[in-house]
Amino acid sequence: MDKLIIKGGNRLSGSLPISGAKNSALTLIPCALLTEEPLTLRNLPRLADIDGFQHLMNQFGVTTSVQGSRPEDFGRVMTLEAPRITSNVAPYDLVRKMRASILVLGPLLARTGEATVSLPGGCAIGNRPIDLHLKALEAFGAEIELAAGYVKATAPGGKLPGGEYDFPVVSVGATENALMAAVLASGTSRLFNAAREPEIVDLCNLLVAMGAKIDGIGSSDITIHGVKRLHGATYKVMADRIEAGSYACAAAITGGEVYLEGANGEDMGATLHALRNIGCEVESDAGGVRVAANGPLKPVNLSTAPYPGLATDMQAQLMSLLLKAEGTSVLNETIFENRFMHVPELRRMGADIEVSGRTAVVKGPASLTGAAVMATDLRASMSLIIAALAAEGETEVRRIYHLDRGYERLEEKLKLIGADIERVGDD
């Protein structure tokens, strides 16, 4: 098992390319199940989760071909073609490692009239039930059965009639599943209190490019007029706003400056606002986003929230940055109940952080020193790397398979801006 060795103290400066968004790509790939024609996705990141989802699609009889597989390539082009669905079962062995696998439920149900999907796995960051996915599908006319660790959804008569669903709380994944289920329904469907994340907009834009009729894109009130069929399309995956924010924090904690090539500042509003309040200089243009930390960092109070609020996926990275702020910061995690698992590892490096329930109090500036630390989930892994970049001495980050799920060639990108980081085999 690989690990990362990081020697802290280098000021990070320069430009690096931002990859296609993992959280968007994993939603766009199952759209291939909705049409008999080819779907070509550009700017797909080279990630373990993408490879895993490709294998899952093959399980249903979808053929996949990939361009851009050379080691030096950032991003790939994948063409998926499903003229015939040969299986509508997503087995446990393929689903257990990746929570996003539940996103095949809606399109399989829409295309074939039934779907059987294993309950998903993924990061251990708290209770993330799929009840809202199932309730939305039931509201659209599906019959749901849970048995032996599987969800079986059936459309009576082979086609969903459509309906209305008002989410009691905002759910990104459930909104995505409901959208994909509704586009081939025989009637009109409506979602209230739907998620508004840029990744939702990306999904809607692809579905429209395939012939779907959707009103209210980007709002919390979405209307989907079912169509008889969708056609193929070629579509570019949006830039990864979480990856961009992560590298911004990495440069800022070293007092550095980074140009995030391809990043969309509009999608990163809450993160960029937080960085400005912390004391960073932030500029956006058509080509990307520049972030610089030329002075002392300031403490802030932050709370995660559904978009357009601060993404929960940025909480851990900003916490690491705030270790160098001159004063006390408070972070409130409102989305997941168990997303401070990186705190004990940061303490091993000298961080002064107190956690009470869903609130973390960070006292800075901390004198960080290198240590052996263990990654617990995807974003927690990145928070350890950010802290290591500013620590004195050498830090060893273990269990980096989490990172390979969400950051395309991370050490190569960090080296582009001056980090001393190496991937080595674990003894």
Residues catalogued as catalytic: 123
* Partners of 118 in beta bridges: 150
- Burial, 112: exposed, middle or buried (Cβ in 10 Å; 0-12, 13-18, 19+)? middle
For residue 19, the 8-state DSSP code is P
Contact 146, 154 (CB under 8 A): no
Q: List phi, psi (to 5°) of 172.
A: -65, -55
Token representation of residue 251: 């440069």
Task: Count other Cβ atoms within 10 Å, centred on residue 223.
Answer: 16
**Hey, CA dihedral for 323, 324, 326, 331, is it positive or negative?**
negative
Hey, what amino acid is at 259?
Answer: Y
> ∠ at Cα 107 (313, 166), nearest 5°?
65
Which of 366, 379, 256, 381 is CA-nearest to residue 4? 381
Q: Which residues contact 401 (CB under 8 A, 6 or more apart)?
A: 1, 2, 48
Contact 299, 321 (CB under 8 A): no
H/E stretch holding 344: helix 343-348
Contact 337, 302 (CB under 8 A): no
From start to end of 60-113, where are the E strands? 63-67, 76-81, 89-90
Token representation of residue 218: 């980007």
Write out the binding residues for UDP-N-acetyl-alpha-D-glucosamine. 99, 128-132, 313, 335
Write out the binding residues. 22-23, 99, 128-132, 313, 335
Task: Count other Cβ atoms within 10 Å, centred on residue 396.
Answer: 17
With H, G, I as helix, E, B as strand and everything else as coil, classify residue 396. strand
Which of 63, 91, 186 is CA-nearest to residue 104? 91
